[in-house]
Structure 1
């Protein structure tokens, strides 16, 4: 696989190239760049199969670079310093990423995925763009009060205050809104939890995440449950009860 490395930190570029040479012989690094503009020109002229791309770069960040590329015909691995919100955004968009300093085992696994996985879906990149600007600022991806839900024909932007609860459905998650609308997305409840639990949401059961603002009543008994504003009862797992009460401020 012909590959490019684009990162504004020279030491990171050299180290990644060395790791690839030692542990990923199937990767042929044909270009190393610390300038995003030079990196863009190389993508356009060399047509790599794989690009290791830093996001936070001067002059032109990784997203701006990709916008100028146009149609993306190569596999992308984003390389970034650890940030909990950025990692959540990567996971939610299902894009490949490596955290600095790069772990060799992670690198090998990522390259193997690149060999067998089709190029990224533009919708994945749109999701990442939606969340990452807030992530880079060190705040929750949903502090603007909306969340992007991917579906077959694109994305729908939903105000988080309108989400009453989310329900797991195998590898999918169903969102229930206050106006009665429902949306199903191809993400697990764990993926959704990574994003929503930075806001006013809490996972109360292996199958449910609820919006704290839509809880009307906590009913205790043999089986503790919540009564929500839309009239639905949601069970509370025994091990989640104390966490819920602490989060909500109940005594």
Structure 2
């Protein structure tokens, strides 16, 4: 049974989430629900919860300010937000879980299931997210969670991404690769504004790492490391738009 704390300055949101957890997540027991971040902070210290649902924007003390006052970050941390699409992309770059208001019960259950498996949140993920939300720009790296933690990948070192069923494998310039528990479409949504292009149903590439384009039937691209990747016919025009020399 996971002990959970809900911290949100909107009473209706707190009450609704508590009801949804009770109805849909029997493995979660809410030990405190509060609209006062100061009370929530003390409860985290005293009760040592397994899971904290934390509103990002609150008066007097926002979610980040609260976390800065903790020596350790709670095992399971799920942000609750009403942010816009840019901010949601920032959450994805940081590989931090979030729930968008109004809370959807299906998404809530998915977040709880992920929290049950997840390791402790890495403080660098919070630093990355805070920078993005403050500066209004996406960072030069992406957080990639894996079984024993989080690895931070420089986008300039990411050559291409390959679909692997419901997962995505990331291939780097140093020859290493990481399996990400996201679909290629999910990864595309995050990286498409950062000079990446979906060139095939199975591949998303970093345009900075194209070495050669081979025309004709069976068009293909040669990437850094001399990796050969197919180019779908319906994606050629998008490649032309990016470079203008085909």
TM-score, scaled to structure 2? 0.75
Q: Report the counterpart of residue 213 of structure 2 in structure 1.
A: 218
Secondary structure of the corresponding residue to residue 16 of structure 1: helix
Q: 1:128 to 1:46 in 2, by over 3 A?
A: closer
Q: Does the 8 Å contact 1:53/1:78 carry over to 2?
A: yes
Aligned pair count?
241
Answer yes or no: is the 8 Å Cα contact 1:90–1:97 preserved in 2.
yes
Matches within 5 A, 1:29-108: 29-72=30-73, 74-91=75-92, 94-108=95-109
State whether residues 218 and 230 of structure 2, in contact with CA within 8 Å, keep that contact through their aligned partners in structure 1: yes
CA 1:65/1:227 → structure 2, altered by over 3 Å: closer, same or farther? same
Separation (CA, whole Å) in 2 of partners of 1:230 and 1:91: 28
Q: 1:9 to 1:202 in 2, by over 3 A?
A: same
> Using a 3 Å threshold, how does the CA distance of structure 1 residues 97 and 127 change in structure 2: closer, same or farther?
same
Asked if 1 retains the 8 angstrom alpha-carbon contact of 2:75 and 2:120, the reply is: no
Note the C-alpha offset of 1:66. Answer: 3.0
Partner of 1:186: 179
SS where residue 106 of structure 1 aligns? helix
In the alignment, does 2:198 pair up with 1:203?
yes
Structure 1 segments unaligned to the other structure (5+ residues): none
Contact kept? 1:167, 1:173, Cα under 8 Å: yes
Structure 2 residue 10 is the aligned partner of structure 1 residue 9: yes
Q: Using a 3 Å threshold, how does the CA distance of structure 1 residues 136 and 34 change in structure 2: closer, same or farther?
A: farther
Match for residue 128 of structure 2? 130
Alpha-carbon shift at residue 80 of structure 1 (Å): 1.2
SS in 2 for 1:48: coil
Contact 1:86/1:136 (<8 A) preserved: no
Retained in 2: the 8 A contact 1:148–1:157?
yes
What does 1:106-125 correspond to in 2, within 5 Å? 106-111=107-112, 113=113, 117-118=116-117, 120-123=119-122
Residue 172 of structure 2: which of 168, 172, 176 is its match? Answer: 176
TM, length-normalised to structure 1: 0.74
Alpha-carbon shift at residue 41 of structure 1 (Å): 0.7
Shift of 1:27: 4.3
1:240 and 2:241 correspond: no
The Cα shift of 1:107 comes to 2.7
Q: Which moved more, 1:161-170 or 1:55-64?
A: 161-170
Distance in 2 (alpha carbons) for counterparts of 1:156 and 1:91: 13
**In structure 1, the residue corresponding to 2:69 is in which secondary structure?**
helix
How far 1:200 moved relative to its partner?
A: 0.8
Q: How far apart are 1:175 and its partner, in Å?
A: 2.6
